[in-house]
Amino acid sequence: MAARGYSKIQVSDLAEFEAKAELKRLAAEIAENDRLYYQEDRPHITDAEYDALRQRYNAIEARFPDLRTLESLSLKVGAAPTGRFRKVRHAVPMLSLDNAMTEQDVIDFAARIRRFLKLGEDERITVSAEPKIDGLSMSLRYEDGELVTAATRGDGSEGEDVTANIRTLKDVPQKLGGRNLPKIAEVRGEVYMTKAAFLALNERQKAAGEQVFANPRNSAAGSLRQKDPSITASRPLGFFAYAWGEMSEMPADTQHGMIKWFEHCGFKTNPLTKLCHSVEELLAFHRHIEERRAGLDYDIDGVVYKVDRLDWQERLGFVSRSPRWAVAHKFPAERATTKVRGVLITVGRTGVLTPTAQLEPVGVGGVIVQNVTLHNEDYIKGIGNKGEVLREGRDIRIGDTVIVQRAGDVIPQIVDVVIDKRPKDAKPYQFPKKCPCPLHTDVVREETATGEEGARRRCTGEFACPYQKIEHLKQFASRRAFDIDGLGEKQIEYFFEQGWVKEPADIFTLSARNRTIKLEDIEGYGATSVRNLFNAIEARREIALDRFIFALGIRHVGETTALALARGYGSWDAFHEACLEVAKGDAEAVAEMDALDQIGDTVIQEVAAFFGEGHNRGIVERLTKEVRILDVEKPKKDTAVAGKTVVFTGSLEKMTRDEAKAMAERLGAKAAGSVSKKTDLVVAGPGAGSKLAEAKKLGITVLSEDEWLKLVE
């Protein structure tokens, strides 16, 4: 579902229409790998490969902020808890890191920090550097020095309670050492298994005829998630402390100081951690650790850099799911050679036809690769986004020998074709002109907003195309939407084919109709599994507004955009009414939506198109009769600007615009992109233009930068 030759094209060269499709394709891969990694402990790709996938996704979102599209994962970390343990809500979200894949990425990271904080070139930025352990993230909560809860990362907001198992680890103190301890201290780090222990465990597992783990990370995760703590205790797990969550008071004012405090409390920290004072030192440290990697008795997949000063960390804040003050510099991945057996065409939720190369299975970095996306017709032909020919004469054909890589821009990807090994009878691949659905609807090449020919081909069947309907339902029930346990892709396809579930509301009436369906009599089901499915459906009759908006499947409205819309309107009634007015072309409603931060013309057009279609309105009306949509929680922060909508305009002199927005959001305010009747404050610096004029026209309070800082101090 991506556009032309993405694996060969820099994000800076992507056209907007191509970026939209690329985000969707990337998100689908990320979501599936999240599920395999966090819930099933059996990843199909390495961490380096996964992180490279995230890096490209984030880079596209950064360049096209209005796209925050379907499958936007900016606010998500990991996967939802599996349900096997009690859920624990993290007091402070457990976020993950953005990634640097090249040395230039590290140089850019340092430059962004300097730019964000308005630091002079002569001001030194001290950075703490440490090996990135490939294990299972853990948060340990201590109250009055006593361990009370241990929780996995989960989805970043909510994890699983594994306290009983964690208590068996010798590296985790039951009581913190030292005096004058904070009343509340959340220590975070990584649970891991040494390579030697992993090999020994696998030998024991094999001898007992039990599961053999793929790598030490899986082994650690599997050991920690045992229902019986004695099993965990029998497996040698270690723990490195390197971060923190909620702290009633801070014992130090630097990252390095906090590491020393962890040691003082009785925790093991990584002895290879080092303070660096320049980009050159960071890169030298990365090369040094990579050289030592093979000799370490635990797995690492890169190096983590963190700004050392905690006051600078606070100012830098976060971007969606990642801190601005830290980055993971990953190690490069491996390549392998294999053959293309065939090309499979799938139809996505929006009708886009996506080709996938079916490969002879090949191992790459310890993972078996059998399928690789080919994005679209132009990618197969080797045509770039500006019409240029990529890999001249190296179009991908069935029978070709190709070089596969599961890292870099897109994972997995074909990075080249070995022309010398091409079969003589190999013919250029002909993209289908008909949809593979039973209707065999015509396929057309879509156009861009400027009237140019796009890279993707789309089925013209729209709502008549069963493949598109099925994909809509799959998204609706997916983890990031309604998250209905037991209603996966195969079940949805089967229920759709049987005519039992044709639209979302049908899911919630399935139990009532089961007297006729008698699902328990179907092969593969039974009374218990049917009861569990219906219970899971009932448990999802109440849903957060942002997840509901995402579940509707509006084009270009992914998780980040859905969250922005939910926060902007607060309730389903307000959002629904606004959407109907936008669909009618009401100028005031359009302006109000446009004023929301991260919302632009593309999203507004798709919202109007969705709610302007009677078929969609009917689906929504029937669905809202079956579920309860929760209002957005109001900000809990007790500050002078909590709950207010703030617009920054002009040149700010004491901080960058990005830092000002981050400050507002940290204080519980909403940072909007334009002025509307619902704007509460406008902070204007020198050179403020149309936004300042609009604020004065609407009678909105206008503050200078100094007045804003005084208000929030």
CATH number of residue 590's parent domain: 1.10.150.20
**Residue 144 forms part of a structural domain:** yes
**pTM for this structure?**
0.55
Per-range mean pLDDT, top range of 315-329, 503-517, 559-573: 503-517
**Residue 557 forms part of a structural domain:** yes
Q: Which of 330, 355, 381 is where one domain is finished?
A: 330
Q: What is the CATH number of the domain that holds 654?
A: 3.40.50.10190
**Statement to judge: residues 147 and 231 lie in one domain:** yes
**Residue 250 forms part of a structural domain:** yes
Q: Say which residue, 366 or 646, is predicted with more confidence.
A: 646
Active site residues: 132
Q: Say which residue, 20 or 73, is predicted with more confidence.
A: 20
**Statement to judge: residues 677 and 601 lie in one domain:** no
What pLDDT, in 10s, does the model give residues 85-120?
788 889 998 888 888 988 999 999 999 999 999 998
pLDDT of 260 > 90? The answer is yes
Work out the percent of the chain whose per-residue pLDDT is above 90.
Answer: 39
Structure tokens at 600: 């632009």
Q: Which of 330, 351, 383 is where one domain is finished?
A: 330
pLDDT of 70 > 50? The answer is no
- Region 631-650: mean pLDDT is 81
**Statement to judge: residues 692 and 608 lie in one domain:** no
**Statement to judge: residues 674 and 578 lie in one domain:** no
Average predicted confidence (pLDDT) for the chain: 84
Question: What is residue 3's predicted lDDT score, i.e. its pLDDT?
Answer: 37
CA distance linking residue 383 with residue 389, whole number of Å: 4
pLDDT of 183 > 90? The answer is yes
**Statement to judge: residues 649 and 624 lie in one domain:** no
**Statement to judge: residues 695 and 556 lie in one domain:** no
Peptide bond into 131 cis (omega under 30): no
**Residue 117 forms part of a structural domain:** yes
Centre a 10 Å sphere on the Cβ of residue 47 and count the other Cβ atoms it contains.
22
Question: What is residue 81's predicted lDDT score, i.e. its pLDDT?
Answer: 46
- Region 166-185: mean pLDDT is 92
What pLDDT, in 10s, does the model give residues 654-682?
888 888 888 888 888 888 888 888 889 99
pLDDT of 619 > 50? The answer is yes
**Statement to judge: residues 574 and 665 lie in one domain:** no
**Statement to judge: residues 568 and 657 lie in one domain:** no
**Residue 429 forms part of a structural domain:** no
Q: Which of 330, 348, 379 is where one domain is finished?
A: 330
The answer to which of 10-24, 132-146, 340-354, 600-614 has the lowest mean pLDDT is: 10-24
> CB of 143 within 8 A of CB of 183?
yes
Number of domains present in the structure of the chain: 3
**Statement to judge: residues 253 and 113 lie in one domain:** yes
**Residue 48 forms part of a structural domain:** no
**Residue 372 forms part of a structural domain:** no
**Statement to judge: residues 558 and 699 lie in one domain:** no
**Statement to judge: residues 133 and 260 lie in one domain:** yes
Domain range for 597: 544-630
Letter for the amino acid at 651?
Answer: S
Question: What is residue 7's predicted lDDT score, i.e. its pLDDT?
Answer: 45
**Statement to judge: residues 701 and 574 lie in one domain:** no
**Residue 249 forms part of a structural domain:** yes
Peptide bond into 412 cis (omega under 30): yes
What pLDDT, in 10s, does the model give residues 575-586?
999 999 999 999
Question: What is residue 294's predicted lDDT score, i.e. its pLDDT?
Answer: 78
> CB of 569 within 8 A of CB of 575?
yes
Q: What is the CATH number of the domain that holds 147?
A: 3.30.470.30
The beta strand positions in 36-82, using DSSP E, are none
Rounded (5°) CA angle 591-585-698: 30
CA distance linking residue 406 with residue 325, whole number of Å: 27
